[in-house]
Amino acid sequence: MLEAIGQDLDSDDPVTCELIVIDGDQRAALLTLARPDRLNAIDSSMLAALDARFDALSADPSIRMAMITGAGRAFSAGGDLKAYVELQRDPVGFPAFVAELHRVFRRVRELPIPVISLVNGVAAAGGLELMLYSDWCIASESAVVADGHLNFGQMGGGGVLTLLPRVAGIQRAAEMLFTGRFLTSEELLRWGLVNDVVPSDRLLEAGIEIGRQIIQKSPLAVANAKEIMNAIWSDNSGVPAGLQLERERNAYYCLLSHDAHEGLQAFVEKRTPRYQGR
């Protein structure tokens, strides 16, 4: 059984939310990145919508677990590169956008309920970063995931440089970052980037099955376990310092380097970029 949450939903809502009744009044929330014509690109409006949805989840004690997925053939292909052509020339707006990306994505780990990414298709750059902030991930057999920043003269700034080596190991993270290639669902499972791979038509069912196990636990115990686990993991691994360095270096590189702007311009003009290493 599905029901809407929050304001009335319309076709322009970048993040929809439906509640799934699991057992009586115990429910799971399904957040869907709903911009399929743009491969669910992450921009300021989508971040604002996610932020509002997280507020709603936090305020409803009957919601015991959340799932995030994408509409259409993508989970999320990351940032809107065409919009970045102008945004990355704004010395105030671009760092503010990256800071807001960090703040909103960090809320995934701060929510008192488990959050599962249901990776339904293509995930790249910011889509991968959203996966890395999730408590765990389930992928469809058709899912493919890459970082992809370096393919367009960019560098990670939303958490991938800090979190990916901790999840996959530094050597596999280096391969993924430096080659920019897409990993298949089988590779994602072997590399530890997802917990399970299921047929596409069973992706939501697999998430709901996890929810059925979660609702058998004390919600307070689950919230405490998640909070302490993430606090210890962050403090002991230097995650806050790493994320700050990532934001700062990303802003410096993307705003001031020739190569960052050249990569985006080449993407828009559908040509091979001419990097100069400056």
The model carries a pTM of: 0.88
What are the strands, taking DSSP E only, across 54-200?
63-70, 74-76, 115-119, 122-124, 136-140, 144-146, 196-198
Residue 228 structural domain: 2-201+218-269
pLDDT higher than 50, residue 245: yes
Q: What are 126-176's pLDDT values in tens digits?
A: 999 999 999 999 999 999 999 999 998 888 888 999 999 999 999 999 999
**Residue 243 maps to a domain:** yes
Q: What are 73-89's pLDDT values in tens digits?
A: 999 999 888 888 888 88
Give the number of domains in the chain: 1
Helix (H) or strand (E) holding 81: helix 81-87
Q: Worst-scoring range by mean pLDDT, 35-44, 94-103, 118-127, 266-275?
A: 266-275
**What are the CA-CA distances from residue 94 to residues 85, 101, 114, 195, 272 (Å)?**
11, 11, 30, 34, 25
The domain that holds 70 is classified in CATH as 3.90.226.10
**Residue 277 maps to a domain:** no
**Residue 212 maps to a domain:** no
**Residue 208 maps to a domain:** no
Structure confidence at residue 182 as a pLDDT band (50, 70, 90): very high
Structure confidence at residue 223 as a pLDDT band (50, 70, 90): very high
**Residue 29 maps to a domain:** yes
Averaged confidence pLDDT in the chain: 90
Structure confidence at residue 11 as a pLDDT band (50, 70, 90): low
Q: What is the dihedral of CA 139, 20, 41, 50, to 10 degrees?
A: -120
